Amino acid sequence: MSVNLQTPIDYLKGVGPNRADLLRSELGIHTYQDLINLFPNRYLDRTKYYKINELQRHSAEVQIIGKIIGFKEVAQKRGKRLVGTFQDDTGSIELVWFRGQKWIRDSIKLNTPYVIFGKINWFNGVFNMPHPELEVLSEHNNNLRSSMQAIYPSTEKLANKGITNRVLTKIMQNLFLETKGRFTETLSESMISELKLLPKSEALFNIHFPKNQELLSRSEFRLKFEELFYIQLQLILKNLIHKSKIKGFPFEYIGDYFNTFYNDHLPFNLTNAQKRVIKEIRQDLGSNAQMNRLLQGDVGSGKTIVAFMSMLMALDNGFQACLMAPTEILSVQHYQGLSELSKTLNISIKILTGSTKTSDRKKIHESLENGELQLLIGTHALLEDKVKFKNLGLAIIDEQHRFGVAQRSKLWKKNTSPPHILVMTATPIPRTLAMSVYGDLDISIIDELPPGRQAIKTVHRYDKNRLKVLRFMRDEIEKGRQVYIVYPLIQESSALDYKDLMDGYESIVREFPQPNYQISIVHGKMKPADKDYEMQRFIKGETQIMVATTVIEVGVNVPNASVMIIESAERFGLAQLHQLRGRVGRGAEQSYCILMTSHKLSQDSKTRLETMTRTSDGFEIAEVDLKLRGPGDIMGTQQSGILNLKIANIIKDKDILQSARFYAKRILEKDPSLGQKEHLVILQTYRALSKYKNIWNYIS
């Protein structure tokens, strides 16, 4: 008989009630299944002596016999590190010490055979080993050693209560003895043979008790693949179910609005990327399913025209459309842009925000309900219960990460049947995250800028170059251009940030005195009406310099502004820097982004600044950001639980993730209900996971 893996952990030999309570509270282990999925953090391998040319990139520790042939000191941000060159007859690696350097130099004999032991890192094309254990070979040969040993995650409390790594290993051994190491297979035979995967039982045994490095690598691959495969299966299935169950309004034909606009009034030629995306949207809208699409495109890639043409498809089929933006400034801007485009077609369009007058509101509500009003642009105000559409066919949400799931679902309920949804974002989402977090949305990407747009020149300058920067500003203003100067504001109330901003403003006023120069200032402590007044002055060109906090990050469009100066740029995240840079470069003139910092910079800050000056590709920037910050940070805390992964790592295992998504897609295209005989094992595993795991319903 096979042991039920849902058995409570209390019943396992060597555990008992007290230990069970600790395992539950400290490591979240409730059942045998949870224990099996407690994967080791790392391994000690004292079985084998590696040659340097055999080293592989994985998480195990290794031992090597060789000699240290020399030392060098390398300066770093704080102090120095000591680097020793260690070689055997096949190659060399670096040994690194960050502390205890004098003692190391005095006690190590050069050109003497040593055994080193430790974890290897791969950095800049070379293997290194920080703070290795060192033993002279002749002494080492007189000691006893055991084989490869798993090191499990632990906590201080477990260690204090005597649940050491040795105890955890013993408990794990008992589990394998009780189950006889037989575990139900969870992937189909065809996948296992095609991908040359280890069988499930073998992979689980070798992840906990690896016989050698190769089996460990293959076990890690098999288990990571499986974990990511079932997450992708869940997301793609969710998308398919959504399409089959939630009927959308079929927009059967492309009519006068769309065709007249496309043929006679398009202000510029569409890029190939825009054409491709419009085609994808058109296919969604013409099918019977509700569209649920994410449109990604860098700042200035022309998402608005795509949104407008999608709205025209709704109008052609007798439906209304709406566009919701996170801030009033942004909705006003969308409204102005879309009104301009609507004029030629005689379309009725209105804007609804928190500051719309009551009398106007009433008119809007009436004309929405009787169907006279075709397009409505606005902020969260669109979600109020009073706002009722006659027949909303398409809802577009801009910068969706600023709206919660609950708010989005309110749009659903405005109709008997849910409208088609197009979500737009100028925050590029790295492909790995998009596949995981938005895996249930169809994704369209506009990945080319309209012709005539010049790349923004980005430079990094230290505070000591300030005079040159001021001179450059003067030159640009002479040419009739405008300049943004942005200060960081971590919290609106932070007194220090406010002081920085005001000091900065005063020094700019001294450098650029009236009446020759006019300066606007915008920050969080101002009343909305005052903010708006200052913004409008800048937009109209009445002021040449806008000193602001990050309120201008999203969506302000001033084609004449050609210089963006970001003060204390090291205090901004990459996504923010990229968004801010996107505020310039909106006209035909050459634009500039100047990142000002002090000399004290952390390694991460240096990486961010280097990335900004090297590339303007939002997706590449997002990938670097993901590496620096990790998935939880990028998605915000409300979604960080999403990637509650047991063994895979969404950043490091990007290739495995892509492969897992490919196989999940292929299987579901062939067999959407997973009813074919060869897929029964996948269906059973999927059902069991959905039943026992609470991390499966995590996507909005």
Cβ contact 602:78 at 8 Å:
no
**CATH for 1-41+147-182 (1.10.3470, 2.60.120, 1.10.150, 1.25.40):** 1.10.150
Least confident range from 218-222, 608-612, 637-641: namely 637-641
Per-residue pLDDT of 462-480, as tens digits, reads 999 999 999 999 999 999 9
Read off the pTM. Answer: 0.67
Q: Write out the two tokens for 641.
A: 């639980």
494 has a pLDDT exceeding 90: no
Q: What pLDDT, on a 0 to 100 scale, did the predictor assign at position 642?
A: 45
Q: What is the 3-state secondary structure (H, E, C) of 321-362?
A: EEEECCCHHHHHHHHHHHHHHHHCCCCCEEEECCCCCHHHHH
State the virtual CA torsion across 490, 492, 493, 495 in degrees, nearest 10.
Answer: 60
Q: Which residue has the higher pLDDT, 694 or 431?
A: 431
Query: Is pLDDT of 563 > 70?
Result: yes
Could you give the residue range(s) of every CATH 2.40.50.140 domain in the chain?
48-144
Q: How far is CA 485 from CA 97, 463, 468, 473, 504, in A?
A: 43, 14, 15, 10, 9
What the block records as the tokens of 346 is: 């005689």
pLDDT of 700 strictly over 50:
no
What whole-number distance in Å separates Cα of residue 392 and Cα of residue 411? 9
- In a 3-state reduction of DSSP, which class is residue 128? strand
Q: Which of 286, 345, 343 has its CA nearest to residue 313?
A: 286
pLDDT of residue 436 exceeding 80, the answer is no
Query: What does 25-81 look like in DSSP terms, one character per residue?
Result: HHH---BHHHHHT---SEEE--S-EE-GGG--SSSBEEEEEEEEEEEEEEE-SSSEE
- Within 13 Å of residue 402, how many CA atoms lie on the same side as its CB? 15
Q: What is the pLDDT of residues 509-557, one digit of tens each?
A: 999 998 899 999 988 778 878 888 888 899 899 999 999 886 664 556 7
Q: What's the half-sphere exposure (Cβ side, CA atoms, 13 Å) at 375?
A: 30
Residues of the chain with CATH 3.40.50.300: 256-446, 457-615
CATH number of the 256-446 domain = 3.40.50.300
Average the pLDDT over each of 185-189, 352-356, 451-455 and give the range with the smallest value. 451-455
pLDDT band, residue 596 (cuts 50/70/90): very high
Which CATH superfamily groups domain 457-615? Answer: P-loop containing nucleotide triphosphate hydrolases (3.40.50.300)
For 4, the 3-state DSSP assignment is coil
Residue 412 has a pLDDT of 66
The letter for the amino acid at 94 is E
On the question of a cis peptide bond just before residue 132, with omega within 30 degrees of 0, the verdict is no
The pLDDT-based confidence of 257 (bands split at 50, 70, 90) is: very high
pLDDT on residue 121: 87
User: Is the per-residue pLDDT at 606 higher than 80?
Assistant: yes
The reply to whether CATH 2.40.50.140 applies to domain 48-144 is: yes
Looking at residue 638, its amino acid is Q
CA distance 333 to 356: 15
Tell me the mean pLDDT in the region 490-497: 60
